[in-house]
Amino acid sequence: MKTFEDFCSAKMFGKNDVWVSTEIIFSVCWNYSDASLSFAKELVKNGMVSLVALNIGWKPYLQHQEKQKEDFILSASLSILNNLSKVTEARCYFEKANIKQLLQPFLKSAKEDHKVKSIMILVAIKSNSDEDNKMLEDTAPILPIKKLLASAISSKTTHGPRCYKGFSSVELVNSLNLIAANSSYKYKIVLEGCLPLLVNMLQYKDEEEQEAALTTVWILEDGNFWHLYDGKDMAEIIRDEPKMMKSLEELTHSTHTRISMCARTTLRRVEKPCAVCRPCCS
């Protein structure tokens, strides 16, 4: 990391004589921090957050995003930050590096991957403060994630969770889960057409996808969110989604214990919403 820190001074980035090494180092950090949470934790402890913060805040990169090298460095830096945001202990490092403010240009970016990566980072590290909630609301986060999720589950991935442009269906849905933790977004997720995508994931023969989709359905119908939309509460909307109930029922027989338990719990919650949590709406 000391060599990397010396190497990553802004004056050196983009020069041809160091470009190959730059690309290799960033690619290794990008891919391995995605594959290994332990590796991501080590990067956090050794100062990686502040290093990539230097990149996403450096004006020459922001002003020349159309160039291949600058775009790669920004994309790799955002991807590394996205991977490191999954490390719980990293939150204080993100605060210290002022990451939320540095993400602002990317949240409004016309580049789809930059925008979605920055949204995913923000929902992972944001607090429940009015300021953070307003920042998230201004990005209109659901539609960009939904579009990539639709592309991911339409891909021809042969094994594991399906992917599109480096985004896996699981990580995209996990970001929706974090967004849905704020009750004001639950109906927005439904209105953007995410339920059919969740059904697709429930039916897909990959346990990671099934578990991620189950978690989302469970969060959407959390037993405490009873507001009506078009005369229906969330449980009714979920029940009325084609193939949803059948998919949940089938997963109650999964050989994967966590999936079968989650499916049974979600099915009970959707079939018989908690009367204690819901006032009479008549």
Written as tens digits, the pLDDT of the chain (282 aa) is 665 665 555 455 556 667 777 788 889 999 999 999 999 999 999 999 998 998 899 888 899 888 888 899 899 999 999 999 999 999 999 999 999 999 999 998 989 999 999 999 999 999 888 888 888 888 889 999 999 999 999 998 778 899 998 899 999 999 999 998 888 888 899 999 999 999 999 999 999 999 999 999 999 987 555 555 666 788 889 999 999 999 999 999 999 999 999 999 999 988 865 544 444 443
Say if residues 189 and 238 touch (Cβ distance below 8 Å): no
Alpha carbon distance 262, 94 (integer Å)? 32
Say if residues 106 and 62 touch (Cβ distance below 8 Å): no
Alpha carbon distance 135, 121 (integer Å)? 12
pLDDT at position 258: 94
Name 79's Cβ contacts closer than 8 Å, sequence gap at least 6. Answer: 30, 34, 117, 166
pLDDT at position 132: 85
Residue for token pair 């999936």:
259
pLDDT at position 19: 75
Alpha carbon distance 281, 87 (integer Å)? 42
H helix runs in 129-282, sequence order = 130-138, 142-153, 169-180, 186-191, 195-203, 207-220, 234-240, 244-251, 257-271
Residue 118 has which token pair? 């920055």
Long-range contacts of 156-163 (CB under 8 A, 24+ apart): 160/206, 160/208, 161/206, 161/208, 161/209, 161/212, 162/204, 162/206, 162/209
In whole angstroms, how far apart are CA 280 and each of 56, 269, 275?
Answer: 50, 17, 9
pLDDT at position 136: 86
pLDDT at position 32: 95
